[in-house]
Amino acid sequence: MTAFGIDLGTTNSCIAYVDDAGRPVIVRNAIAENLTPSVVYFERRDSIVVGSAAKNAALLAPDLAVQLVKRQMGKKGVEYTFHGTRYTPETISALILKELAAAAHRQLGRPVRDVVITVPAYFGVAEREATRQAGQIADLNVLDVLAEPVAAALSHQERHPAKRVRHLLVYDLGGGTFDTTVIRVDGDEVNVICTGGDKELGGADWDARVRDYLSNAFTERHPRLDPSADETFMQDLWIKAEQLKQELSSAMTRRRTLRFGGAAVQVEISRQRFQELTADLLDRTLKITEETIHKAARKGVSQFDEVILVGGMTRMPAVAARLEELLDAGGWRPAEGPGLWRHEPDLAVARGAALFALVKQIQQDGSPEQDGPHQQAEQIADRLGISAAQAEAMRARRVTTVVPRGLGMRVIDHGDPLATTDPSRARTMIIHLLPADTPLPADSGSVLFHTALDNQPIIEIEVWEQTEQGSSEELADNTKIGRGRLRGLPPKLPKGTSIQVTFSMNETGLLTVYAVEPGSGREVRFDLQIGGMDRAAIEKAKTAVARHDISS
């Protein structure tokens, strides 16, 4: 059975597979487009539209459409209601995934079951698990959730193989998120060194600046008219802003006519003015990139053989120009070779995900242990419809990623005098047991903590994840993502009793927390449940989504 790679993007999504020749191929959707807009339009109660038609329908009825849902993944309490039915971000994303899978089934005549779905490198545990759940709700077998820069590197490696060790800097600026990642490629091994990013910085923010520029130009000429409350006008303004942004990558000036309340205004915007309006956004990406480069230097990587630009936003001329300035100023520019690559900005991630999906499928294949490697490769190749040589090559590939954001637990600050006299009022802080950029799989080892009260019957273990670049013990710089309780402790335990806590995370990003009170042997172990969706909730959502008639 063919495995597929899915780039579930903020503004556009696409799906790919590896053909019989071993090449990753993008599957076009029902209207022969490589990219499907990540827009869902709720036409009727059980009838929805996904893609370009949904994006167009949103012009007339914006209150029935959802866009940029990826920015809501992993957030608690976010819901949408259409025609009396409530939807979560995971469910909305599942509808997009189902349409991508259906399009591939129609085009190839084979069902889509095993998939790898990509996420921004800087997505944390909650966002990654929400993405995995979206795939499950779409009735897909999610082999793994893969960081987008890693997928792009795999695609680049397939197109431009090299025999020597290479260090890549991947700058990924998409429609809704930004990532920068340093990767070491050594033959069949792809290892993430470190990563940084902003999950709420992307092309949509550039669009918003152009939209505001257009809106202000209209109201300056017609101050008595206020179109900002008109959803149809504002939706049309979003479309015009996105088009202008794209056109100014190749043109120096562009014009648009705005109409509202019987008035018409023609607005011109130049590339220079566009760059001025959005300069601070680009500065934010460069600041994160510089911080990531410095992290890589502390890990022994001080120069890059190649810099790969990924994401549709990297088509803006200012991106490459400013990035080259940054690399030149720091002496990080590639010493030799092609320098900056703009590698299939819209498609590289899906292609790389398809390659990784095949790797995962082959590595997870349960061939009998008594068979030799060659015989196993032949069996796998026969089942997947590829050559034995391809199967052996794929099986040899290894991809190592990292903990994207530090993970820790909340503890009392024993430097606070109240920790002794009144622990309930003492300052609390976060201790990171798994720092950011720790290679996966990761194990913190047993870390010693102590009870704060005499006769403490329960110990609550709160799991927190850092939200900012760099490690911080402040609660404001972290967010609580889960908890577990160590119950049934022996009576009359004195304050200061030792508790051993271990955090471990596997290659797919599943976090397991283990705590034990050594004296009694009482222990708690839990896989972190994220997003409030247990197995029953996922199955219920899967049934609800299956009832929908989806068109594109």
Query: How far are the Cα atoms of 58, 176, 390, 406 from residue 49, in angstroms, in the given order?
Result: 10, 21, 38, 39
Q: How far apart are CA 435 and CA 341, in angstroms?
A: 31
Query: How far are the Cα atoms of 426, 468, 474, 503 from residue 478, in angstroms, in the given order?
Result: 18, 7, 7, 17
Per-residue pLDDT at 183:
95
Helix extents (H) in 222-316:
231-247, 271-277, 279-298
For range 484-491, the mean pLDDT: 80
pLDDT over 70 (residue 384): no
Where in the sequence of the chain do the CATH 2.60.34.10 domains occur? 407-506+510-527
Question: With bands split at pLDDT 50, 70 and 90, how would you rate the model's confidence at 368?
Answer: very low
CATH number at 4-159+345-401+537-551:
3.30.420.40
Query: How far are the Cα atoms of 30, 42, 523 from residue 442, in angstroms, in the given order?
Result: 42, 42, 21
Q: How far apart are CA 144 and CA 150, in angstroms?
A: 13
pLDDT over 90, % of the chain: 56
Q: What is the full DSSP assignment across 384-441?
A: HTS-HHHHHHHHH-EEE-B-SS-EEEEEE-TTSTHHHH-GGGS-EEEEEEE-TTPBSS
For range 204-230, the mean pLDDT: 93
Which residues is 398 bridged to in the sheet?
189
Question: With bands split at pLDDT 50, 70 and 90, how would you rate the model's confidence at 134?
Answer: very high
Q: How far apart are CA 72 and CA 74, in angstroms?
A: 6
For range 216-224, the mean pLDDT: 93
* Strands 114-119, 141-147: pairing kind: parallel
Give which of 62, 78, 65 is closest to 38, Cα–Cα.
65
pLDDT over 60 (residue 366): no
Helix axes 231-247, 203-221, angle to 10 degrees: 120
Task: Return the HEC string of 386-399.
Answer: CCHHHHHHHHHCEE
Task: Please give the model's pTM, rounded to 2 decimal places.
Answer: 0.89
pLDDT over 60 (residue 468): yes
For 93-115, write each residue's pLDDT tens digit.
Answer: 999 999 999 999 999 998 999 99
Backbone angles phi, psi at 317, to 5 degrees: -55, -30
In sequence order, which residues have a C-beta less than 8 Å from that of residue 279 and are 6 or more positions away?
none
Per-residue pLDDT at 299:
93
For range 30-55, the mean pLDDT: 93
pLDDT over 70, % of the chain: 91
Place of tokens 């197995």: 535
CATH number at 203-277:
3.90.640.10
pLDDT over 80 (residue 387): no
Question: With bands split at pLDDT 50, 70 and 90, how would you rate the model's confidence at 338?
Answer: low
Name the CATH topology of 407-506+510-527. Answer: Substrate Binding Domain Of DNAk; Chain A, domain 1 (2.60.34)
pLDDT over 60 (residue 375): no
Question: With bands split at pLDDT 50, 70 and 90, how would you rate the model's confidence at 391?
Answer: low
Is pLDDT larger for residue 384 or for residue 256? 256
Where in the sequence of the chain do the CATH 3.90.640.10 domains occur? 203-277
Contact indicator for 102, 108 with CB cutoff of 8 Å? no
For range 436-465, the mean pLDDT: 89
Q: How far apart are CA 84 and CA 48, in angstroms?
A: 14
Q: How far is CA 508 from the centre of its chain?
A: 13
Per-residue pLDDT at 371:
56
Q: Which long-range contacts (CB under 8 A, 24 or more apart) does 363-368 make?
A: 363/394, 363/395, 364/143
Give which of 269, 246, 245, 242 is closest to 256, Cα–Cα.
269
In sequence order, which residues have a C-beta less than 8 Å from that of residue 34 and are 6 or more positions away?
14, 26, 28, 346, 347
Lowest mean per-residue pLDDT among 139-143, 296-300, 435-439, 510-514: 510-514
Contact indicator for 90, 130 with CB cutoff of 8 Å? yes
pLDDT over 80 (residue 230): yes
Residue environment code for 289-323, b if the CB has 16+ CB neighbours within 10 A, otherwise e: bbebbebbeeeebebbbbbbbbbbbbbbebbbebb
Give which of 527, 513, 433, 445 is closest to 473, Cα–Cα.
433
Contact indicator for 64, 41 with CB cutoff of 8 Å? yes
Number of Cβ within a 10 Å radius of residue 226? 13
For range 433-461, the mean pLDDT: 89
Element (H, E) at 185: strand 178-186
- As given in the structure block, the two tokens for residue 490 are 């022996």
Q: How far apart are CA 89 and CA 176, in angstroms?
A: 15
